[in-house]
Amino acid sequence: MGTDLKRQLDGYRITTAEILYHLPDHPELLQTYIWQDLDLAPKFPVLRRFLDFWDRSLEGRLHSVRVASIGLISPGEARFLGTEISLH
């Protein structure tokens, strides 16, 4: 089973973050960065690690982060229709 599929079955959801940050050379201007990965809602540990990395390693100071998350795999509904089909 693929790693991404296993993670989704374990509760990971596709998560998209819109990150606004201050440009290092022009701090009065904001730039947008879109981040997307599988993560666990509502604590978002993967996104938090990325933002910690950003804060430690990149020059653009964070302004704000908006997060959207949705599950891609959900339990399917199965029901019998009450019909029997014979194959020869």
User: What would the pLDDT profile of 15-69 be if each residue is shown by its tens digit?
Assistant: 999 999 999 999 999 999 999 999 999 999 999 999 999 999 999 999 999 999 9
Range of the domain at 56: 3-70
Query: Tokens 């990971």 — which residue?
Result: 12
Is residue 36 included in any domain, yes or no?
A: yes
Give the C-alpha separation, 9 to 5, whole Å: 6
Q: Which residues pair with 57 in a beta bridge?
A: none
Is residue 12 included in any domain, yes or no?
A: yes
The count of structural domains within the chain is: 1
Is residue 77 included in any domain, yes or no?
A: no
pLDDT value at 85 more than 60: no
Contacts of 44 by beta carbon, 8 Å cutoff, 6+ apart: 15, 67, 69
